[in-house]
Amino acid sequence: MKSIRRAIQSMMSLIMISFGALLASFSVACILLPNDAIDYGTAGIAIIISKLTGYKLSLCVLVVFLPFLIAGLFMLGKRFFLRAAIGSLVYMVGLDYFEKMPFELNVEHFIAVAFGGAILGAGLSLILRFGGCIDGSEILANIIVSKLSEKTKKNYSMTGVLLIFNICVYIAVFVLINQNSALLSLLVYVVATAIIDHFTDRFEAIKQVTVITQNPTEMIRRIREDMNKTVTVMDSYGAIAGQNKTLICYVTYFELQKLREILADFEGKAFITVSTIDEIMR
């Protein structure tokens, strides 16, 4: 019964990721590009390459994103790779289809770009919320943060890495394309990230996972071996359950998906909450 429920959940996740990828590709191909704006992250790099070389946009997206996707396979696991690969494939097919579709939004550039950014943000929110990814900058940020955490034994947010990456993208747009495209693309970034933050509770921030359980040993072992993460363990007491152990673990948004898969094996044996951490004082 549990395996059937998990299979249905996995299928629904893939469907929602695919729908989010279609929304994102529609926004880019039908609204943003016709109004001189581009996406951000690695998709933005692919669009710049496509504009400068004349190569198909979907091909450029594949070439740019593939190395990050492979890195995600080794860092974040096979399930993440599968979801990211399916989302990226649907995104590329969507770009090919929507670029040929006759669609015209007869409004001012500013309004069109704001509307396109909102649709893009909605699509990316669905992808991220169901454990997928179609942007290599997020994978890169997760890898950098994970490596820093391993070396320093401290937790870091992905915000700084993503901000630096996208600043470089917009400088490239400003220099290689034109100033208007850079400014309109910056508006896309602001609108899209506002939508994403609203629906994913700031995915780039650190997540605190709190687990209350009576049998933590196997759970701790899995977290340490499968994720190379440390866990804080405290004694706690429940009015009904009695003596418990409270586990606290800090992870990034993409690591959270992997941790959820581990904790799913202990369903019914633990009480689990997830919260967003604004700052960790060191």
The enclosing domain of 213 has a CATH number of 3.30.70.120
In tens, the pLDDT along 167-218 reads 999 999 999 988 888 999 999 999 999 999 888 888 888 899 999 998 889 9
- Give yes or no: residues 270 and 147 share one domain: no
Q: What is the pLDDT of residue 239?
A: 78
Does the structure show a pLDDT above 70 at 250? yes
Q: What is the pLDDT of residue 23?
A: 95
- Give yes or no: residues 213 and 191 share one domain: no
Q: What is the pLDDT of residue 29?
A: 92
Query: Is 253 domain-assigned?
Result: yes
In tens, the pLDDT along 26-84 reads 999 999 999 889 888 999 999 999 999 999 999 999 999 999 999 888 887 788 888 89
Mean pLDDT of 241-250: 88
Q: By mean pLDDT, which of 3-12, 192-201, 249-258 is the weakest?
A: 3-12
Query: Is 34 domain-assigned?
Result: yes
Q: What is the pLDDT of residue 63?
A: 93
| φ and ψ of 247, to 5 deg | -105, 140
Domain boundary among the residues 183, 200, 217 is at 200
- Give yes or no: residues 239 and 148 share one domain: no
- What's the CA gap between 77 and 255, in Å, rounded? 10
- Give yes or no: residues 266 and 184 share one domain: no
- Give yes or no: residues 131 and 100 share one domain: yes
- Give yes or no: residues 123 and 164 share one domain: yes
Mean pLDDT of 88-107: 87
Query: Is 26 domain-assigned?
Result: yes
- Give yes or no: residues 6 and 129 share one domain: yes
- Give yes or no: residues 210 and 93 share one domain: no
- Give yes or no: residues 58 and 87 share one domain: yes
- What's the CA gap between 183 and 173, in Å, rounded? 9
Domain boundary among the residues 171, 200, 229 is at 200
Which are the contacts of 192, defined by CB distance < 8 A and separation ≥ 6?
40, 117, 118, 120, 121, 124
Structural domain total, the chain: 2
- What's the CA gap between 206 and 190, in Å, rounded? 21
- Give yes or no: residues 165 and 32 share one domain: yes
Q: What is the pLDDT of residue 282?
A: 61
Mean pLDDT of 2-29: 88
- What's the CA gap between 77 and 84, in Å, rounded? 11
Query: Is 282 domain-assigned?
Result: no
Q: Which residues pair with 242 in a beta bridge?
A: 238
Reported pTM? 0.85
| SS3 (DSSP) at 199 | helix
In tens, the pLDDT along 126-181 reads 998 888 888 888 888 888 888 887 787 777 778 888 899 999 999 999 999 888 88
Which band of pLDDT confidence, cut at 50, 70 and 90, is reported for residue 91? Answer: very high
Mean pLDDT of 244-262: 88
Closest CA to 189 of 9, 43, 6: 43
Domain boundary among the residues 155, 174, 200 is at 200
43-52: long-range pairs with CB below 8 Å, 24+: 43/134, 43/135, 44/166, 44/169, 44/170, 44/173, 44/185, 45/169, 45/172, 48/169, 48/172, 48/173, 48/176, 48/177, 51/177, 52/176
Does the structure show a pLDDT above 90 at 19? yes
- Give yes or no: residues 256 and 177 share one domain: no
Query: Is 16 domain-assigned?
Result: yes
Instruction: Give 43's Cβ-side CA count (13 Å radius).
Output: 25
Q: Which range marks the domain in which residue 77 is found?
A: 2-200
- Give yes or no: residues 99 and 148 share one domain: yes
